[in-house]
Structure 1
Amino acid sequence: MQDKETTEKPNLPIWQIVNMSIGFFGIQHGFEIQFARMSSIYEKLGAQPNEIPLLWLAAPATGLLVQPIIGYMSDKTWIPSLKMRRRPYFFLGAILGTLALFFMPNSSSLWMAAGLLWVLDASLNITMEPFRAFVADRQNSKQRPTGYALQSLMIGLGTILGNYIASISLIEFFPSLAESGHSAMHLSFYLCGIIFLASVLYTVFTTTEEPPENLEEIRQARSRGIGPAIKSWATETASCYTQMPPVMKRLALIQFFTWMGLFCMWMYYSVAVPHNVFGASDPHSDAYEQGVRFAAHTTMIRGMATPIFALMIPFIVRYLGRAYTHGLALLLAGVGLLSIPFIHEPSLLYLPMIAAGIGWASIVSMPYVILVEHLPKNQYGIYMGIFNMFIVIPEILVSLGLGGAIMGLLENNRAYGVAFGGGLLLVAALLTPTLRRFEPVVEKATPEPQLAGS
């Protein structure tokens, strides 16, 4: 399969691979502004630490519902007049997500904020899910590590700018904005929404797609109507579940612990810093706001570490292999998060966030590089949807269990909540070397591919 695919798909120029990845730069702004601000919005609206996980349920629950459906639909979509397959989903999700980002800072109650988070995360999933399959559609096996590494690069750059926006007051830079009557928090959401929409539209209009190989099958399914299509989706999804490649089953376990750990970080880091490092107790105080902004600032540093390590991944893989590279990154991230409760000097927070950035670069690329060569080409979308369910299911378990049970054991200490996530990442790191046997033999003799045109 690997050799055949290489001959069928020529190497793409680097600028085409970059254009395919720009949308991820915008998508990450949607994620980063919510990671930087949602828990603080909840606390400002009266939420307690043990209530925050349930309020975050929207993030994984929408993924569970949306990802497999959108993955299946994008597999079965082809619009001849527009020559589009995955891109209509990019466009729709970007429009809905931008609207949610504009309404979010105006939330007047906990449940309004939580409801808008449902809309936002559903939209981000509609946009993001087909992006993974988009790379597999357009690139051959040798270029895929480069394609996914560039996605990591764009995610890292989006993390940097998104958190920079969250860490500053735009009104201080542009005093005339004060006349709008909106706070700095409002303006940061608005700007992230604009960048999200513009970046995704750039990818939509600067990239092309080829008709799927099973085009005739898609046309026949469309002619049969929506009822048989739904039945076909359910049947095919169930079949894919039962026929998952062994490497996917092993990755599922690793993803389980990885994303439980990350979810703990996202929920609690932005509020752990103002409470545990800046000593703030009132969510409406200046010290609290300074802590939230500094958390975003250190997360920006995490984002700087991500693209640097992403560019190093092909070289590290050449010597360590894919599995050991991923395991090392998870190990560093886990140790970093475990250190959070012991840090009381703000400047020391840079170290664990750099470690988390290294882990993040690998998390958003290496599992997909390891998996995609074991999947049928005409089912990339549906398998990616199923695979991403191994992200959202553990997050749902955290949302339902961390508040009442685990946070009770941790005495509602937000920093301990982050450290608990670090421990879960260490478990994932210990499991990762078992993926070594699924790596292609050719990798031992052949260096990992470099960027096209370099």
Structure 2
Amino acid sequence: MTATLARPRQSWSGLWNISFGFFGIQIGFALQNANMSRIFQSLGTNLDDLPALWVAAPLTGLLVQPIIGHLSDRTWLGRLGRRRPYFLAGAVLAALALVLMPLAPGLLFAATMLWVLDASLNVSMEPFRAFVGDMLDKDQHAAGYAVQTAFIGAGAVAGSIFPWALEHLGVSNVAARGALPDTVRFAFWFGAVVSLASVIWTVLTTREYSPEEMARFDAGAGIEHAQPDLSGHDYGASLGWAAAGVAVAATCWAAGLEKELYLLGALLLAYGGAGALAIRRARHGHAAGMLGHIIGDFAGMPPLMKRLSVAQFFSWSALFIMWINTTPVVTRSFFGAPDPTSPAYQQGANWVDALFATYNGIAAVSALMLLPALSRRIGRVRTHIVGLLCGAAGFASFLVIRDPRWLLASEVGIGIAWSSILAMPYAILASSLPQRKLGIYMGLFNVFVVLPQLLVATVMGTIMKWFFPDQPIWTMAFAAVTLVGAAAAMLRVRPKLNSVRVPPVPN
């Protein structure tokens, strides 16, 4: 039998190198999150159409992350390793999209570049989640994800603050109709360079463990992956998913709902069809293949992962509401400037960059100082509940604040929630999942990150158009309620390791 070995403990520099690439990935996400509504509105999009244009982001994540997770579990490219090939490929494509995005001549090109950018960032991001589990022993998982979250926060601060900082350095923040100001264009180009360089740093400074070493670390489990057995499954669940898709599409057509809902129906129908195909192949004796593995692993998720997934669904619904709507909320409700060509609108949009930088900066500090101390005292689950409720209070405060400067206080609560959402669920999961399948399980867990984003992108526009036309401020109330729902869902999560002491980040 192969002897079991513990992974070597990583020093502070080791944890830094493992996660530094996430700094660059998050710069790309921050530039996207803080500026895409601004870009779309500057190119002529009205408020009601913003969710439809944002649908590219969650759709690419939904398709890309399980596939990349499955593939990265099985990849070994010699000296380049297992996860690092995906870091590098995604970073190169993301940098190219960041360079081209500000040159968009129209909405179609901008929407296409958003699709390319989000897909590329997801190709890099998903293996980074599993990379922490690959490189660290279980007693360092909490520290590893805390450091990763700190880099996410730092990268998001850098990406969010670029346009605001450039304006204060004298770069023009004025744009003609249908064009972008120099602050946005230069921020995207500088972000492309920094994001690629940081990922290259991780690629060059880390050595992944070989398949043989991973086998010894995982008690002789080897690198083979158990093939899910779908041959005993019936078609009932698949037919249920397909029927739900048809029902959504039919309701959309009969009630004249927003056309984005057809996409939601199509995805439900496609998942039902994929499940039926995988079961049929298994019954005919075919190997599971990638489709069978993904469908089988999704159906066979551990109970702890299913309960955490409910909390993730609600958490990321709130975040996506914020990313889509903060710019129109702040520019319209606090700066009185719905017109993207007005100087007041550009001033408000730059204040959104500062707000986003604030919540991400708070998240970086919270991840290293607040979350580990709170976890040691009350456990990871309760820590996450506290963080989610802080975020709910931050969103709710948008409805009572009148001075935009006081929104900085709102971002403190949102930043604490953001740090917890990025760290606590992954620390709980990484210590509870089989390491040899960490990539696919992290990819499937992230389905519950992108599904709520897709739902928000397809449904929120209809809700706002029906009940709150031209009043985007009420989206913040929706965000607050969904975070309360996420906190309630965490009450059902009871991991065996929840009481384990969370080790501090090494000095």
Is the TM-score greater than 0.5? yes
- In structure 2, how many angstroms separate the alpha carbons of the residues matched to 1:72 and 1:126? 12
2:120 corresponds in structure 1 to 123
Residues 296-318 of structure 1, C-alpha deviations (whole Å, 9 max, x = no match):
11221112211111112111001
Aligned residue number for residue 289 of structure 1: 346
SS in 1 for 2:169: helix
Give the Cα–Cα distance (whole angstroms) in 2 for the partners of residues 329 and 29 of structure 1.
23
What whole-Å deviation, never above 9, does each CA across 1:79-112 have from its counterpart, x for those lacking one? 12x2411001000000000111111111122222
Is it true that 1:448 corresponds to 2:480 in the alignment? no
Deviation, 1:10, is 2.3
State the Cα deviation string for residues 105-136 of structure 1 (Å, max 9, x = none). 11122222111100000000000000010000
Cα gap change, 1:91/1:441 in structure 2, threshold over 3 Å: closer, same or farther? closer
Q: Deviations over 1:246-266 (max 9, x none)?
A: 111101111111111110000
Q: In the alignment, what sits opposite 1:354? A: 412
Cα deviation for residue 171 of structure 1 reads: 8.2
Does the 8 Å contact 1:21/1:154 carry over to 2? Answer: yes
Find the counterpart in structure 2 of residue 152 from structure 1. Answer: 149
Distance in 2 separating the partners of 1:152 and 1:56: 24
Q: Distance in 1 between matches of 2:425 and 2:88?
A: 26
Deviation at 1:12, TM superposition (A): 1.1
Q: Which amino acid aligns with 2:150?
A: L
SS where residue 113 of structure 2 aligns?
helix
Question: Which string of whole-angstrom CA distances, capped at 9 and with x for unpartnered residues, describes residues 194-228 of structure 1?
Answer: 1111111111111110113377648xxxxxxxx99
Task: Provide the C-alpha distance between the structure 2 equivalents of 1:113 and 1:57, rounded to a whole number of angstroms.
Answer: 13
Counterparts in 2 of 1:442 and 1:169: CA distance versus 1, 3 Å: closer
| Cα displacement string for residues 336-355 of structure 1 (whole angstroms, at most 9, x for unaligned residues) | 11221332211111011111
Q: 1:168–1:293: 8 Å Cα contact kept in structure 2? A: no
Matched, 1:331 2:329: no
1:16 aligns with 2:14: yes
Q: Which residue of 2 aligns with 1:192?
A: 191
Cα offsets for 1:350-369 (capped at 9, x unmatched)? 01111111000010110011
Q: Counterparts of 1:1-400 in structure 2 under 5 Å?
A: 8-80=6-78, 82-169=79-166, 172-173=169-170, 183-212=182-211, 213=215, 217=224, 231-311=288-368, 312-400=370-458
Amino acid at match of 2:71: M
Paired residue for 2:495?
A: 438
1: CA distance, partners of 2:384 / 2:330: 28
Report the CA distance shift for 1:393/1:107 in structure 2 as closer, same or farther (over 3 A): same
Shift of 1:406: 3.8
- Could you tell me whether the CA contact under 8 Å between 2:100 and 2:113 is conserved in 1? yes
Report how many aligned residue pairs link the two structures.
Answer: 431
Write the deviation string for residues 394-429 of structure 1: whole angstroms up to 9, x where unpaired.
111111111123443122322212331121111111
Give the drift of 1:173: 4.4
Instruction: Give the letter for the 1:250 counterpart.
Output: R
C-alpha displacement of 1:231:
4.5
Q: Work out the CA distance in 2 between the residues paired with 1:166 and 1:60.
A: 25
How far residue 229 of structure 1 moved from its aligned partner, in angstroms, is 11
- Please say if residues 223 and 436 of structure 2, whose CA atoms lie closer than 8 Å, have aligned partners that are also in contact: no
Structure 2 CA distance, aligned partners of 1:285 and 1:344?
Answer: 21
Q: Which amino acid aligns with 2:202?
A: T
CA–CA separation in structure 2 for the residues paired with 1:433 and 1:441: 12
**Equivalent position SS for 2:144:** helix
Calculate percent identity across the aligned residue pairs.
Answer: 39
Distance 2:465 2:418 in 1: 24
Q: Encode CA deviations 1:285-337: one digit per residue, 9 max, x unaligned.
A: 11000000011112211122111111121110011111110010000101111
Q: Distance in 2 between matches of 1:229 and 1:182?
A: 56
CA deviation profile, 1:365-406 (whole Å, cap 9, x unmatched): 100111122211110000111000011111111111111234
Once residues 250 and 413 of structure 1 are traced to their aligned partners in structure 2, the CA distance between those partners, rounded to angstroms, is 34
- When residues 90 and 441 of structure 1 are mapped into structure 2, their CA distance, relative to the original with a 3 A threshold, is closer
Quickly say closer, same or farther: Cα 1:57–1:363, change in 2 above 3 A. Answer: same
Matches of 1:354 and 1:70, distance apart in 2: 34
Q: Residues 352 and 230 (structure 1 numbering): CA distance in 2 closer, same or farther, change over 3 Å?
A: farther
Cα pair distance change 1:441/1:396, threshold 3 Å: closer
The alpha-carbon distance between structure 1 residues 429 and 298, as it changes in their structure 2 partners (threshold 3 A), is: same
CA distance in 2, matches of 1:329, 1:116: 34
165-174 vs 126-135, greater mean Cα deviation? 165-174
Task: Name segments (4+ residues, structure 1) moved above 6 Å.
Answer: 227-230
Tell me how far apart the structure 2 counterparts of residues 199 and 240 of structure 1 sit (CA, whole Å).
32
Output the amino acid matched with 1:58: A
How far apart, in 2, do the equivalents of 1:407 and 1:366 lie?
35
Bigger shift: residues 31-40 or 128-137:
31-40
State the superposition RMSD in angstroms: 2.2
Change (3 A) 1:434 1:346: same
Distance 1:274 1:230 in 2: 55
Q: What is the DSSP-based 3-state SS (H/G/I as helix, E as strand, rest coil) of the residue aligned with 2:504?
A: coil
Measured in 2, the distance between the counterparts of 1:109 and 1:58 equals 16
Cα displacement string for residues 140-181 of structure 1 (whole angstroms, at most 9, x for unaligned residues): 000000000001110111122111103233583479xxxxx9
Taking the aligned partners of 1:283 and 1:216, their CA distance within structure 2 comes to 54
Q: CA offset at residue 35 of structure 1?
A: 1.2
The amino acid across from 1:125 in the alignment is N
Q: Which runs of 5+ in 2 are unaligned?
A: 173-179, 216-220, 226-280
**Inter-partner Cα distance in structure 2 for 1:291 and 1:396:** 27
CA contact (8 A) 1:35 1:270 kept: no
**Matching residue of 2:278:** none
In structure 1, C-alpha distance between the alignment counterparts of 2:222 and 2:293, rounded to whole Å: 17
- Alignment partners' CA distance in 1, 2:91 and 2:167: 23
Contact 1:333-1:357 at 8 Å conserved across structures: yes
